[in-house]
């Protein structure tokens, strides 16, 4: 399971990469592995305002559907249309071509409420032990 050290993570298994006030959001390698083959993404339209830890969209695998929660608040500036057309990109490259949306950050301090890579790895280890 890949957990890039430069990213921050939510307890709901989303990741965020912040670059110059823009946050790129996706789901983690562990999340895609647990969900299995993804076949459908429902993402918010551009200009939608989202709040931290609130529902961002839905992601659906052959077997099950899950909500995606936004790890940070802001306004959606871009959605990954390539991944909407081919959700398997999220399975293949969850931190790269399988990103989901980009947001302009409304409050940069929200990032501090997220887990570091090390903390996220501990969380996954705990969940696996249960």
Partner 1 sequence: MPDGESLRLSPLDEQHRALRARMVPFAGWSMPLQFAGILEEHRAVRNQVGLFDVSHMGRLYVSGHDAAGLVSRAGTYDARRLEPGQGHCSLLCQEDGGILDDFYAYRLAPDRFLVVGNSVNADRDREQVRGLLKPQMGARLQDRQESSVMLALQGPRAVETLARVVGPEAAQGLPRRRCTETQWQGEALFVSRTGYTGENGFELVTAVEPGRALWEKLVAAGVQPCGLGARDTLRLEAALPLYGNDIDTTTNPWEAGLGWVVTLDDGADFVGRAAVEAARAQVERHLACLMALGPGIMRSGCVILQGGEQVGRVTSGGYSPTLEASIGMGYLPSPLAAEGTNVEVEVRGKRLPARVVPRPFYRRPATLSSSQKPATS
Closest CA relative to residue 100, chosen from 20, 34, 40: 40
Q: Which residue of 6, 58, 78, 122 would you call a contact of partner 1, by CB under 8 A?
A: 58
Residue 36: which region, alpha, beta or left (left: phi > 0; alpha: psi -120 to 50)?
A: left
3-42: contacts with partner 1 (CB under 8 A): 36-37, 39-40, 42
Closest CA relative to residue 1, chosen from 31, 25, 24: 31
Query: With contact defined as beta carbons under 8 Å apart, do 56 and 28 qualify?
Result: no
CB nearer to partner 1: give 58 or 118.
Answer: 58
Q: Which helix or strand (DSSP H or E) is residue 89 part of? A: helix 88-92
Distance CA 60, CA 124 (A): 21
Binding piece for partner 1, criterion CB under 8 A, among 6-14, 62-70, 92-100, 104-112 = 62-70
Binding piece for partner 1, criterion CB under 8 A, among 17-25, 58-66, 111-119, 120-128 = 58-66
CB nearer to partner 1: give 52 or 61.
Answer: 61
If one asks whether residue 54 binds partner 1 (CB under 8 A), the answer comes out as no
Residues lying near partner 1 in the complex (CB under 8 A)? 36-37, 39-40, 42, 58, 60-63, 65, 88, 91
């Amino acid at each position: 399971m890949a957990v890039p050290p430069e990213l921050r993570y939510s307890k709901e298994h989303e990741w965020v990469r912040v670059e110059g006030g823009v946050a790129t959001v996706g789901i983690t390698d562990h999340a895609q592995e647990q969900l299995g083959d993804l076949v459908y993404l429902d993402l918010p339209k551009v200009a939608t305002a989202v709040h931290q830890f609130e529902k961002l969209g839905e992601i659906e695998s052959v077997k099950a559907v899950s909500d995606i929660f936004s790890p940070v608040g802001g306004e959606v500036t871009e959605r990954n249309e390539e991944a909407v057309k081919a959700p398997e990109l999220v399975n293949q490259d969850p931190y790269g071509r399988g990103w989901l949306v980009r947001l302009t950050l409304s409050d940069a301090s929200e990032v501090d409420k997220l887990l570091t890579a090390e903390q996220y790895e501990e969380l996954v280890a705990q969940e696996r032990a249960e």
